A and B are shown apart, each in its own frame.
Chain A
Amino acid sequence: DAGVIQSPRHEVTEMGQEVTLRCKPISGHDYLFWYRQTMMRGLELLIYFNNNVPIDDSGMPEDRFSAKMPNASFSTLKIQPSEPRDSAVYFCASSLQVWGAEQYFGPGTRLTVT
Protein backbone atom coordinates (compact mmCIF):
# COMPACT_ATOMS: atom_id res chain seq x y z
CA ASP A 1 0.00 0.00 0.00
CA ALA A 2 1.23 3.52 -0.73
CA GLY A 3 0.37 4.75 2.73
CA VAL A 4 -1.68 7.83 3.50
CA ILE A 5 -1.52 10.27 0.60
CA GLN A 6 -1.92 14.01 1.02
CA SER A 7 -2.03 16.78 -1.52
CA PRO A 8 -0.74 19.30 -2.09
CA ARG A 9 2.52 18.96 -0.14
CA HIS A 10 2.98 22.72 -0.08
CA GLU A 11 0.44 25.47 -0.47
CA VAL A 12 1.06 29.19 -0.46
CA THR A 13 -1.97 31.43 -0.68
CA GLU A 14 -3.06 34.93 0.10
CA MET A 15 -5.24 35.88 3.00
CA GLY A 16 -8.92 35.59 2.15
CA GLN A 17 -8.51 32.80 -0.39
CA GLU A 18 -10.12 29.39 -0.09
CA VAL A 19 -7.76 26.50 0.60
CA THR A 20 -8.59 22.81 0.13
CA LEU A 21 -6.38 20.07 1.49
CA ARG A 22 -6.88 16.49 0.36
CA CYS A 23 -6.27 13.10 1.91
CA LYS A 24 -6.50 9.51 0.74
CA PRO A 25 -6.37 7.09 3.69
CA ILE A 26 -4.96 3.58 3.61
CA SER A 27 -7.43 1.22 1.99
CA GLY A 28 -9.48 -0.66 4.56
CA HIS A 29 -8.89 1.81 7.40
CA ASP A 30 -12.11 2.79 9.12
CA TYR A 31 -10.86 5.95 10.83
CA LEU A 32 -9.45 9.15 9.43
CA PHE A 33 -7.96 12.01 11.42
CA TRP A 34 -6.98 15.57 10.56
CA TYR A 35 -4.26 17.20 12.68
CA ARG A 36 -2.61 20.60 12.67
CA GLN A 37 0.95 21.27 13.82
CA THR A 38 2.34 24.69 14.71
CA MET A 39 5.40 25.79 16.61
CA MET A 40 3.28 27.43 19.30
CA ARG A 41 0.68 24.72 19.88
CA GLY A 42 2.36 21.55 18.64
CA LEU A 43 0.10 18.82 17.25
CA GLU A 44 -3.66 19.19 17.66
CA LEU A 45 -6.50 16.96 16.59
CA LEU A 46 -8.95 18.90 14.44
CA ILE A 47 -11.55 16.28 13.53
CA TYR A 48 -11.89 12.57 12.98
CA PHE A 49 -14.21 10.36 10.95
CA ASN A 50 -15.41 6.80 11.44
CA ASN A 51 -16.75 5.10 8.33
CA ASN A 52 -16.99 8.49 6.60
CA VAL A 53 -19.05 10.03 9.42
CA PRO A 54 -17.59 12.92 11.47
CA ILE A 55 -17.37 11.78 15.09
CA ASP A 56 -15.56 14.57 16.95
CA ASP A 57 -15.00 18.00 15.46
CA SER A 58 -14.38 19.80 18.75
CA GLY A 59 -10.85 20.64 17.64
CA MET A 60 -11.95 22.56 14.56
CA PRO A 61 -10.92 26.12 15.41
CA GLU A 62 -13.85 28.02 13.94
CA ASP A 63 -16.48 28.10 11.23
CA ARG A 64 -13.91 28.94 8.58
CA PHE A 65 -12.78 25.32 8.79
CA SER A 66 -14.82 22.45 7.39
CA ALA A 67 -14.04 18.82 6.63
CA LYS A 68 -15.81 16.21 4.55
CA MET A 69 -15.39 12.56 3.76
CA PRO A 70 -17.64 11.74 0.79
CA ASN A 71 -16.36 8.17 0.56
CA ALA A 72 -13.97 5.75 2.24
CA SER A 73 -11.02 6.75 0.09
CA PHE A 74 -11.13 10.55 0.16
CA SER A 75 -11.36 13.42 2.61
CA THR A 76 -10.97 17.17 2.34
CA LEU A 77 -10.19 19.92 4.82
CA LYS A 78 -11.28 23.33 3.64
CA ILE A 79 -10.43 26.75 5.01
CA GLN A 80 -12.52 29.66 3.76
CA PRO A 81 -11.48 32.42 4.08
CA SER A 82 -7.88 31.69 5.01
CA GLU A 83 -5.94 33.85 7.47
CA PRO A 84 -2.19 34.12 8.21
CA ARG A 85 -2.71 32.39 11.58
CA ASP A 86 -3.84 29.28 9.70
CA SER A 87 -0.26 28.78 8.51
CA ALA A 88 0.78 25.35 9.78
CA VAL A 89 1.46 21.80 8.69
CA TYR A 90 -1.73 19.80 8.33
CA PHE A 91 -1.47 16.04 8.75
CA CYS A 92 -3.96 13.38 7.83
CA ALA A 93 -3.79 9.96 9.50
CA SER A 94 -5.79 6.77 9.29
CA SER A 95 -6.16 3.65 11.40
CA LEU A 96 -8.07 0.41 11.60
CA GLN A 97 -9.58 1.27 14.98
CA VAL A 98 -9.37 4.53 16.84
CA TRP A 99 -8.20 3.79 20.35
CA GLY A 100 -6.35 0.53 20.08
CA ALA A 101 -4.27 0.59 16.94
CA GLU A 102 -1.46 2.45 15.33
CA GLN A 103 -2.25 5.59 13.39
CA TYR A 104 -0.53 6.00 10.05
CA PHE A 105 0.33 9.56 9.17
CA GLY A 106 0.52 11.16 5.76
CA PRO A 107 3.48 13.38 4.81
CA GLY A 108 1.58 16.54 5.67
CA THR A 109 0.66 19.70 3.78
CA ARG A 110 2.64 22.80 4.67
CA LEU A 111 0.26 25.76 4.36
CA THR A 112 1.49 29.32 4.25
CA VAL A 113 -1.05 32.13 4.21
CA THR A 114 0.42 35.54 3.42
Chain B
Amino acid sequence: KNEVEQSPQNLTAQEGEFITINCSYSVGISALHWLQQHPGGGIVSLFMLSSGKKKHGRLIATINIQEKHSSLHITASHPRDSAVYICAVTIIQGAQKLVFGQGTRLTINP
Protein backbone atom coordinates (compact mmCIF):
# COMPACT_ATOMS: atom_id res chain seq x y z
CA LYS B 1 0.00 0.00 0.00
CA ASN B 2 1.34 3.44 -0.91
CA GLU B 3 2.08 5.81 1.94
CA VAL B 4 0.14 8.56 0.14
CA GLU B 5 -3.13 7.80 -1.65
CA GLN B 6 -5.12 10.24 -3.72
CA SER B 7 -8.67 10.02 -4.97
CA PRO B 8 -10.05 10.17 -7.51
CA GLN B 9 -7.30 9.33 -10.00
CA ASN B 10 -9.22 11.09 -12.76
CA LEU B 11 -11.93 13.71 -12.52
CA THR B 12 -13.90 15.39 -15.29
CA ALA B 13 -16.29 18.23 -14.51
CA GLN B 14 -18.08 21.13 -16.13
CA GLU B 15 -16.94 24.70 -15.82
CA GLY B 16 -18.27 26.28 -12.65
CA GLU B 17 -18.49 23.10 -10.61
CA PHE B 18 -17.03 22.76 -7.12
CA ILE B 19 -14.10 20.33 -7.15
CA THR B 20 -12.73 18.22 -4.31
CA ILE B 21 -9.58 16.11 -4.47
CA ASN B 22 -8.67 13.93 -1.52
CA CYS B 23 -5.36 12.78 -0.07
CA SER B 24 -4.85 10.21 2.68
CA TYR B 25 -1.55 9.21 4.21
CA SER B 26 -0.49 6.42 6.51
CA VAL B 27 2.66 7.80 8.14
CA GLY B 28 3.52 10.56 10.56
CA ILE B 29 4.19 13.79 8.73
CA SER B 30 5.58 17.21 9.43
CA ALA B 31 3.89 18.89 6.47
CA LEU B 32 1.66 18.22 3.48
CA HIS B 33 2.08 19.82 0.07
CA TRP B 34 -0.29 20.27 -2.84
CA LEU B 35 1.36 20.65 -6.24
CA GLN B 36 -0.09 21.44 -9.65
CA GLN B 37 1.37 20.05 -12.86
CA HIS B 38 0.12 21.61 -16.08
CA PRO B 39 -0.14 19.76 -19.39
CA GLY B 40 3.15 21.34 -20.43
CA GLY B 41 4.80 19.51 -17.54
CA GLY B 42 5.77 22.36 -15.22
CA ILE B 43 5.19 21.84 -11.50
CA VAL B 44 4.03 24.59 -9.18
CA SER B 45 3.66 24.41 -5.43
CA LEU B 46 0.14 25.47 -4.40
CA PHE B 47 0.10 24.96 -0.66
CA MET B 48 2.21 23.70 2.22
CA LEU B 49 0.26 23.06 5.40
CA SER B 50 0.69 21.29 8.70
CA SER B 51 -2.68 22.11 10.27
CA GLY B 52 -6.00 23.75 9.58
CA LYS B 53 -6.85 25.41 6.32
CA LYS B 54 -5.28 27.68 3.70
CA LYS B 55 -6.93 29.65 0.92
CA HIS B 56 -5.50 31.20 -2.21
CA GLY B 57 -7.97 32.67 -4.66
CA ARG B 58 -10.38 29.92 -5.67
CA LEU B 59 -8.24 27.20 -4.11
CA ILE B 60 -8.70 25.94 -0.56
CA ALA B 61 -6.64 23.26 1.16
CA THR B 62 -7.54 21.61 4.44
CA ILE B 63 -5.82 19.03 6.59
CA ASN B 64 -7.03 16.84 9.45
CA ILE B 65 -3.98 15.53 11.27
CA GLN B 66 -5.95 13.09 13.46
CA GLU B 67 -7.62 11.49 10.44
CA LYS B 68 -4.46 11.74 8.28
CA HIS B 69 -6.45 13.31 5.49
CA SER B 70 -6.27 16.42 3.36
CA SER B 71 -8.56 17.89 0.73
CA LEU B 72 -7.98 20.35 -2.07
CA HIS B 73 -11.06 22.29 -3.18
CA ILE B 74 -11.53 24.43 -6.25
CA THR B 75 -14.51 26.77 -6.34
CA ALA B 76 -16.04 28.02 -9.61
CA SER B 77 -13.77 25.72 -11.64
CA HIS B 78 -12.46 26.91 -14.99
CA PRO B 79 -10.92 25.07 -17.95
CA ARG B 80 -7.55 26.60 -17.04
CA ASP B 81 -7.68 24.59 -13.79
CA SER B 82 -7.22 21.44 -15.88
CA ALA B 83 -4.01 19.86 -14.64
CA VAL B 84 -2.64 17.04 -12.52
CA TYR B 85 -2.82 17.77 -8.81
CA ILE B 86 -0.25 16.01 -6.66
CA CYS B 87 -0.29 15.54 -2.91
CA ALA B 88 3.06 15.08 -1.17
CA VAL B 89 4.08 14.69 2.45
CA THR B 90 7.27 15.24 4.37
CA ILE B 91 7.56 12.26 6.68
CA ILE B 92 9.04 12.53 10.15
CA GLN B 93 10.20 8.94 10.61
CA GLY B 94 13.64 7.87 9.50
CA ALA B 95 15.33 10.11 6.98
CA GLN B 96 12.98 12.93 6.17
CA LYS B 97 12.01 13.05 2.56
CA LEU B 98 9.13 14.05 0.31
CA VAL B 99 6.75 11.21 -0.59
CA PHE B 100 4.30 11.77 -3.43
CA GLY B 101 0.81 10.55 -4.23
CA GLN B 102 0.10 9.29 -7.72
CA GLY B 103 -1.71 12.46 -8.73
CA THR B 104 -5.27 13.34 -9.76
CA ARG B 105 -5.87 14.31 -13.36
CA LEU B 106 -8.53 17.04 -13.47
CA THR B 107 -10.27 18.07 -16.67
CA ILE B 108 -12.70 20.99 -16.67
CA ASN B 109 -14.86 21.20 -19.76
CA PRO B 110 -16.27 24.55 -20.92
Q: Which of B42, B97, B100 contacts A107 (CB 8 A)?
A: B42
- Report the minimal beta-carbon distance from B63 to chain A, rounded to whole angstroms: 15
Task: Please tell me if the beta carbons of B96 and A42 are within 8 angstroms of each other in the complex.
Answer: no
Chain A interfacial residues counted at CB < 8 A:
23
Interface of A is mostly: strand
Cα–Cα distance between A56 and B101 once the two chains are bound (Å): 20
Task: Please tell me if the beta carbons of A91 and B31 are within 8 angstroms of each other in the complex.
Answer: no
Task: Please tell me if the beta carbons of B97 and A105 are within 8 angstroms of each other in the complex.
Answer: no
Cα–Cα distance between A58 and B98 once the two chains are bound (Å): 12
Interface of B is mostly: strand
Task: Please tell me if the beta carbons of A58 and B95 are within 8 angstroms of each other in the complex.
Answer: yes
Cα–Cα distance between A44 and B76 once the two chains are bound (Å): 32
Assuming the contacts A99-B31, A99-B90, A100-B31, asked whether A105 and B100 have C-beta atoms less than 8 A apart, the reply is: no
Which of A33, A91, A103, A110 lies at the interface centre, i.e. has the most chain B CB atoms within 10 A of its CB?
A103
> Can you offer 15 A-B residue contacts whose CB atoms are under 8 A?
A42-B101, A42-B102, A43-B86, A43-B88, A44-B100, A45-B98, A56-B96, A58-B95, A58-B97, A98-B96, A101-B48, A103-B33, A103-B98, A105-B43, A105-B45
Q: Which residues of A contact B (CB under 8 A)?
A: 33, 42-45, 48, 56, 58-59, 89, 91, 93, 98-105, 107-108, 110
